[in-house]
């Protein structure tokens, strides 16, 4: 995939070990620094899947500063689902029968000082181009809520329960030792749509706008002080209006 330049930002795939280290450093800042762990300026977020993934970087063109990063793990079809990061936390046996190309997107992060919405736009433009060029039919991953107390996220979880649970044929089942079964616990709670969407993580809001769906439970990650839900998007099911918006991102002036 060729670099994608829009305005003051450039999205490109990591090409060197130095690029990968820059992405891992940004991930540490975004995910781990906020948990209070000491930082000597060299700490990295690394796992075994990094070597198997492609890593997307969004940089400020003038300064070269990395402001956003995420990674892709391509899978030929559902028979390879056990290779994914998500499969460590969810029983994804139902997705084993998915018969098209899939990609897991993970470790999506922004630099804490970055507030420019154009960064998210170019990130989605890069993702859209990747999906179009590779013929991906399903995008999936884990969407995280900051904080491990269920009540913090009850309004958002109630909305997910009400409108966005996975189709039964792809239903992710419980595997992790500590989970919050929000669809069961909040079965009688009616969400306030405005408050619920305001409480939804931005990445998950984008997935839902594309017709995405989630697991019926959230995994509690005490180490990162988050709760996350499995999230899937079937590319062919993206609403036409949303497809047009994504295509328009690729046509933004350079």
**Average pLDDT over the chain, rounded to whole?**
94
pLDDT digits 0-9 by tens, 181-199: 999 999 999 999 999 999 9
CATH match for 4-250 among 4.10.91.20, 1.10.10.10, 3.10.450.50, 3.40.630.30? 3.40.630.30
Confidence label for 252 from pLDDT (cuts 50, 70 and 90): low
pLDDT of residue 79: 98
pLDDT of residue 253: 55
Q: Above 90 in pLDDT, residue 2? A: no
CA 103 to chain centre: 11
Proportion of the chain above pLDDT 90, given as a percent: 80
pLDDT of residue 35: 87
Read off the pLDDT of each residue in 214-240 and give the average, rounded to a whole number.
Answer: 95
State the angle between helix axes of 240-250 and 117-134 in degrees (0 to 180), rounded to the nearest 10.
Answer: 100
Q: In a 3-state reduction of DSSP, which class is residue 18?
A: helix
Confidence label for 13 from pLDDT (cuts 50, 70 and 90): very high
DSSP 248: H
Confidence label for 254 from pLDDT (cuts 50, 70 and 90): low
Read off the pLDDT of each residue in 215-221 and give the average, rounded to a whole number.
Answer: 98
pLDDT of residue 169: 97
Q: Above 80 in pLDDT, residue 249? A: no
Question: 88 with 70: CB under 8 angstroms?
Answer: no
φ, ψ at 214 (rounded to 5°) = -135, 165
Closest CA to 75 of 89, 91, 96: 96
pLDDT digits 0-9 by tens, 85-130: 999 999 999 999 999 999 999 999 999 998 888 898 899 899 989 9
């Amino acid at each position: 995939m060729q670099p994608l330049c829009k305005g003051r930002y450039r999205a490109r795939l990591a090409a060197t070990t130095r690029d990968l280290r820059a992405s891992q450093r940004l991930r540490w800042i975004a995910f781990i620094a906020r948990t209070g762990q000491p930082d000597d300026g060299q700490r990295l977020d690394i796992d075994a899947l990094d070597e198997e993934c492609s890593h997307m970087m969004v940089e400020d063109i003038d300064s070269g500063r990395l402001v956003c990063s995420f990674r892709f793990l391509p899978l030929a079809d559902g028979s390879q689902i056990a290779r994914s990061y998500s499969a460590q936390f969810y029983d994804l046996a139902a997705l084993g029968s998915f018969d098209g190309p899939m990609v897991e997107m993970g470790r999506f992060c922004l630099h804490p000082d970055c507030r420019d919405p154009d960064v998210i736009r170019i990130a989605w433009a890069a993702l859209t181009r990747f999906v179009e060029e590779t013929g991906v039919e399903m995008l999936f991953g884990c969407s995280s809520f900051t904080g491990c107390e269920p009540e913090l996220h009850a309004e958002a979880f109630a909305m997910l329960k009400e409108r966005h649970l996975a189709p039964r044929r792809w239903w992710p089942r419980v595997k992790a030792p500590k989970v919050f079964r929000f669809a069961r616990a909040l079965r009688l709670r009616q969400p306030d749509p405005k408050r619920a969407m305001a409480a939804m993580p931005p990445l998950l809001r984008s997935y839902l706008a594309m017709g995405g769906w989630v697991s019926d439970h959230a995994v509690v990650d005490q180490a990162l002080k988050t709760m996350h839900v499995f999230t899937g998007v079937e590319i062919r099911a993206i609403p036409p209006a949303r497809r047009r918006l994504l295509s328009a991102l690729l046509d933004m002036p350079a």
